[in-house]
A and B are shown apart, each in its own frame.
Chain A
Amino acid sequence: AQTVTQSQPEMSVQEAETVTLSCTYDTSESDYYLFWYKQPPSRQMILVIRQEAYKQQNATENRFSVNFQKAAKSFSLKISDSQLGDAAMYFCAYRTGNQFYFGTGTSLTVIP
């Protein structure tokens, strides 16, 4: 069975600092994709970054980067130079062909 675990229900970071959100997953598949979605209070789910499991290189999107450790089944998100607009729920997700599996989310607070 596929499961996604986010062990940090809440995190906070000072504005302009760096924060890392953790995610682990469990799967028996060898080819899959991982995603981080952001959900602000507006409820809109916004894709932050994605990672192909067959790529060893960690994905990067501007201030967002991942640390993908395939053997450990770990997929953490690093947010650099945190901004007030980064405050939101962050969901880690794993995709098979039929559906996405989501973690329970990490609520990120950015302190001015």
Chain B
Amino acid sequence: GEEVAQTPKHLVRGEGQKAKLYCAPIKGHSYVFWYQQVLKNEFKFLISFQNENVFDETGMPKERFSAKCLPNSPCSLEIQATKLEDSAVYFCASSLLPGRNTEAFFGQGTRLTVV
């Protein structure tokens, strides 16, 4: 597609439940990034992929967060046993090249609310 598609737009989970978010990058883009935006300002980097391979996962809280980008499927970000502090907007972005000059195209985000 011509835009990054994230689903669902909103997700509500009880504390301790699992949450799974999806992202379809722009067709032809090899790089996918996941960011967590808390309180409308701070963007925390979670993980990036080059095709189906993890490129950089330095931001991932590995004990509960996992992510995949499999061929011919949307990328996914899964949170096991959600906590209240996981409430945030999760953005996916894709870019064509890894180079420093290429912009990232963002999806509209998934708002996760943990209650």
Contact = CB atoms under 8 A, between A and B. Distances in A.
A44 B106 contact: yes
Contacts of A33: 100-101
Nearest to B44: A102
Contacts of A42: 108
Contacts, number: 53
Interface string B31-56: 00101000011110100100000011
Contacts of B33: 99-100
Interface stretch (A12-20, A45-53, A66-74, A76-84): A45-53
Given A96-B100, A97-B99, A102 B43 contact: yes
Interface string A27-52: 00001110101000011110100101
A43 B89 contact: yes
A97 B108 contact: no
B48 A99 contact: yes
B98 interface: yes
Interface residues of B, number: 25
Contacts of A47: 103, 105
A99 B108 contact: no
Given A43-B108, A100-B33, A50 B41 contact: no
A91 interface: yes
A52 B101 contact: yes
A98 B55 contact: yes
B75 to A, nearest CB: 15
Contacts of B101: 33, 50, 52
B106 A100 contact: no
Given A89-B40, A105-B41, 20 more contacts: A32-B100, A35-B103, A42-B108, A43-B109, A45-B93, A50-B103, A89-B41, A91-B43, A96-B100, A97-B99, A98-B48, A98-B55, A99-B33, A99-B45, A99-B48, A100-B35, A100-B45, A100-B104, A104-B41, A104-B42
Interface of A: 31-33, 35, 37, 42-45, 47, 50, 52, 89, 91, 95-102, 104-105
